[in-house]
Amino acid sequence: MSITSSAPSAPSLPLVVRTVPLDDLAQPPGLGAPSAAGDLADRAADLLALLPTQAPLAWVRRGDGLVAWGEAMRVEVHGPDRFADAERAWHQVLAHAVVRDEVRLPGTGPVAFGSFAFDDDSPAGGVVVVPQVVVGRRDGRAWLTTLTTGGHLGAAPRLADVAADGAGEQPRSPGAVTYAEGAVPAQQWPDVVSAGVAAIRAGEVDKVVLARDVEATAEEPVDVRWLLQRLARRYTSCWTFSVDGMVGATPELLVRSDQGLVTSRVLAGTIRRTGDDAADMARAAILAHSSKDLEEHEYAVASVARALAPFCSSSNVPDVPFVLSLPNVLHLASDVTGVLATPTDGRPHPSSLALAAALHPTAAVCGTPTQAAGALIRRIEGMDRGRYAGPVGWFGADGDGEWGIALRSGRVDPDDPRRVRLFAGCGVVAASDPAAELAESEAKLVPMRWALGSD
């Protein structure tokens, strides 16, 4: 087991957790029930405005979610057992925790954020961060959680007393941004796709997902809050996240576990939007009937359904995908749902992180068959993805939580915060056209390029 922790062991310094209602954030002034994208963006900004410049933690969608700051504890894991090692460390912390939760909603009480590498052998490994302060909002209710080590339960905390340095200040623009080629230059990347198509036609795999990166360099150090607020405002249907330098707005929910119910949003099959509503409606129809995209989507849905089946007593797998409209692209999407089976030995349901580990990597980010597609990626892709396309999200003391796939994302360089590595990937099947896949990857880079901009 490869684990490093920045905090003393749990028994000597137990985690002390206090959650209290936060009525003044439950409904922002002047807003009724959110009904429009602008309302949702305002609610998200209301949460994100609480974050500090340094190491902000966030998981926000449609104005609800969690934001956090500080580190009560940090656990780093590596290798193929990184998910199990992270969960084991979290249970060790919880075994000695002192908890008073006056709200009792998903996301209250002890909460940890995590981000994990795509590949077992990546040096990026994984990290679980237990913050010192969490502010959450869900369905018109808001709360404040403080997490400390080595103390005792005291008076109910107040947001004013635990506010982060710089909270409420306008995030800074990174200034002008220049872009450079990543590990594989754009003009050479179609050759990588061609190699993937050749492997498919040779029977090595049925589908493979290939990714590329771009290096962005800004004039000023990148204020992650700038990225978060812009992404949350424009991509309201996505999960906007920030964990340990990974930041983005993912449209793909790997798994949500909530009191025995599980949900996974699967995306595969993409077409770029034109900006003209009539033209985009026509493109949505083309996408919905594209044999190439439907084939790609079918592999992705089947891989999720197959991975969830051992854990569920019942499930619902849609026969036909719907078209998800984002500002830059249209996706084929399916929401796979299930009911977790009650373990016969009296043990609790598997945690959301355990489910994420069982699902990762899906065909939407790796390919089919999984093992062969992963080996092909390592052989021809030409880069280490790091934590791109890996699970990112949060989980609580009961194991419930939400884990997305780190897509439409970038990694802020910890040694030079002016630099951000952006990623995009595409599903490749036998009918894929390398030039079209390059164009699709450019479309998927748009959200992070836009987030770095100043328009």
Catalytic positions are 207, 252
Of residues 136, 133, 129, the one with CA closest to residue 160: 133
Of residues 259, 221, 451, the one with CA closest to residue 348: 259
What is the C-alpha separation between 115 and 135, in angstroms, rounded?
19
For residue 56, give every residue at least 6 positions away whose Cβ sits within 8 Å of its Cβ, in sequence order, or none.
Answer: 67, 68, 69, 224, 225, 228, 242
The CB density around residue 415, as the number of other CB atoms within 10 Å, is 5
What is the C-alpha separation between 201 and 7, in angstroms, rounded?
51
Is residue 13 packed enough to be buried (19+ CB in 10 Å), middle (13-18) or exposed (0-12)?
middle
Partners of 143 in beta bridges: 21, 136
* Helical (H) or strand (E) element with 99: strand 98-101
The CB density around residue 220, as the number of other CB atoms within 10 Å, is 14
What is the C-alpha separation between 103 and 438, in angstroms, rounded?
48
- Reading the block at residue 21, the tokens are 């209602």
* Helical (H) or strand (E) element with 161: helix 159-162
Residue 9, CA distances (Å) to 12, 74, 114, 281, 288 in order:
6, 11, 19, 56, 53
Q: Give the DSSP letter string of 279-292.
A: HHHHHHHHHHT-HH
Q: Omega into 369 within 30° of 0, i.e. cis?
A: yes
* Helical (H) or strand (E) element with 229: helix 224-234
- Reading the block at residue 72, the tokens are 């009560």
Name residue, tokens 């087991």. Answer: 1
What is the C-alpha separation between 5 and 16, in angstroms, rounded?
18
What is the C-alpha separation between 411 and 243, in angstroms, rounded?
10
Are 135 and 164 in contact, with CB atoms under 8 Å apart?
Answer: no
Query: What SS3 class is residue 210?
Result: strand
Partners of 142 in beta bridges: 137
- Reading the block at residue 24, the tokens are 């003044």
For 168, list phi and psi in degrees, rounded to 5.
90, -15
